[in-house]
Amino acid sequence: MTQEPEAPPPPDTGATPSGSPVPPTPRTPPPAAPSAPPGAVPSAPPTPAAEGPRPPGGPTTALRPGRARAVLLLAAFLCAACGLVYELALVALGSYLIGDSVTQASVVLSVMVFAMGVGSLLAKRFTSRAAAAFAVVELLLGLVGGLSVAALYACFVWLDAYRPALVACAFVVGTLIGAEMPLIMALLERLRQQALCRTVADVFAADYVGGLIGGLAFPFLLLPVLGQLAGAIVVGGVNALAGAVVVLWLFRADLGRRPRALLWSGLLATLAVLAVSWSLTGHFEAAARRALYPGAVLHAERSEYQQVTLVASAPPGGPADSGGTPASPSGVVLLLDGTPVLDSADERRLHEAMVHPALAGPRSRVLILGGGDGMALREVLRYPDVTEVTLVEVDPAVTRLAATHPALTALNRHAYDDPRVEVVHADAFGWLRDRARGGGAGGGADAPGYDVALCDLPPPSVDDAAKLYTVEFYGMLGSVLAPDGRIAVRTGALDASAAAGRADLWRITATLEATGLHTTPYRPPAPATAPTPDGTPPDGGTPQGRPADPGIVLAGREPPPLRLPADAPPLRHLDASLPRGGGELGASRPAALPPPATLPHPEGDPHWDG
């Protein structure tokens, strides 16, 4: 049986299975747009979704959006660098003038961070006029930040209102810095729409890199080359140019004729004020020095480490001491970063008291740490059996001044010309560390130890000097001493009101004893003669109102007696009985000494266990 081929399916005729046609599905017409009222202007067709929303007003710049964005981020980078310089300048100035850099940094940074938050909130009101607002902020920041150091210095010198002025200045500068970022982000959003996270990332990257450059430029470029006052003024000019010029160039089409004229006038006025201020910095500093120091300024320089100033303090004509040392041609005061470290009217009494008791014993090799003025060196060299003196001073400017200035060479008897003296310009801590490891100048395991070490260093209240009063420092110092070597350390002020100075004395005593040494704390003798009615002692001693005397701690591997050498040269303020209103402080030793100072705990390690 033959199978017939299957017939193809019938064409689709739109019929139902019963054969009746299927009615077509009616199409729903789109809803008609509502009729506009008579006289209304027809609305524009909607923007296609692919174009995305446009920023209000549209980007109208002198460059294409991509390049304009790069220029704006460069401005953000420069402004961030300038902002960090302002912060560092305020911290550094406070440390120089007041000391206690930890407190100064804490006050400045905390106030500025808080003010930056305030500035960010205030900037929200001006994001609709971001270009003009950003230019105004940068002009104000360049002016206020550029003149901040000079203004604070003036408050310190003439108004005695440094602390409130510092807080006010930090708040104003911080507020202006805080307003920068919201305005920059608003300008970037105008140039090109993108995800908010991308805009934030771009701005933060420019800000952080700018902070890095500003933080490195301040200590390594601005301070050494320009100094604090001129450096801040130059940075203020850069800040004003970076902000205002970018706005006046990129967004000039968005500004009306009058705003453009006002911004140009503000920029020129700001630069003019900063330029005039920069040209007058030398006169300003000289006037401030005259206000601070009644005597003539004999020498002033900014070294790599500090401000070194020598001023006259007394009229010529002082008697020579009994040892034959000629009197200084005039009284002088040596100041480092504004802190007096030497007063010719009183230095001999203090240096005699520190040096000669320590030299009562073997003294062939002597080490002086600090003492760049040469006064302790002068006293050491009065002993002919001293064969070698090593003086370690960090700042070459101090030793150079002491070796060349007539007022100081008259006081130190040209001590630096003595062939027994070797001067090492190094940080005392680093130099001792190299010696303890067997390296450095004169180092090595076979090098003979020093018979005497004199620590004529800045007081421990100076932050940079805190490490020079620690267990680690005295441990290294002990390693370079001869077996019967002795150490003399000058401490803080000891008058009854100077609780911090007395605390320094006993903390240093505890720190020396923590290294296995025995100690004898004492104080210098009082001035030999009572002051005359005008407050000036007739023997050239210290006038009334002088700073309190420091304490001195004598230390050795055996309990060191407080006595003078049998062959001591003629001394002006000491005799065989040694104390004349001074002497040992053993009777006032507290029952429990404070904990010793260590590098991690310069105020005393509460967990010290030896």
Residue 405 is assigned to a ligand binding site? no
- And the tokens for 588? 């006032």
- Cα–Cα dist 529/513, whole Å: 36
Residue 393 is assigned to a ligand binding site? yes
Cβ-contact 137, 176 below 8 angstroms: yes
Residue 351 is assigned to a ligand binding site? yes
Task: Report which residue type is found at 577.
Answer: S
Cβ-contact 215, 89 below 8 angstroms: no
Q: How many CB atoms lie within 10 A of CB 444?
A: 9
Residue 15 per-residue DSSP state: B
Residue 373 is assigned to a ligand binding site? yes
- Cα–Cα dist 520/489, whole Å: 11
Give catalytic status of residue 456 as yes or no: yes
Pairing of strands 307-314, 331-336: antiparallel
Measured in whole angstroms, how far is the alpha carbon of residue 360 from the centre of its chain?
41
- CA quadruple 307, 313, 316, 317: dihedral sign: negative
* Edge-to-edge strand ranges of the sheet holding 481-493: 421-425, 388-393, 365-370, 450-456, 481-493, 550-556, 518-523, 583-584
* Burial bucket for residue 417 (CB in 10 Å: 0-12, 13-18, 19+): exposed
Cβ-contact 568, 356 below 8 angstroms: yes
Residue of 343, 456, 549, 605 with catalytic role = 456
Q: Is 388 left (phi over 0), alpha (psi -120 to 50) or beta?
A: beta
Strand partners, 584: 522
Dump the DSSP string for 328-354.
PSSEEEEEETTEEEEETTTHHHHHHHH
Buried/exposed code over 484-519 (b: 16+ C-beta within 10 A; e: otherwise): ebbbbbbbbbbeeebeebbbbbbbbbbbbbbbebeb
List the one residue out of 104, 86, 89 whose CA is nearest residue 462.
Answer: 104
* Burial bucket for residue 424 (CB in 10 Å: 0-12, 13-18, 19+): middle
Q: How many CB atoms lie within 10 A of CB 525?
A: 21
Q: Which residues are annotated as a binding site for S-methyl-5'-thioadenosine?
A: 306, 393, 427-428
Q: Which residues are annotated as a binding site for spermidine?
A: 351, 373
Catalytic residues: 456
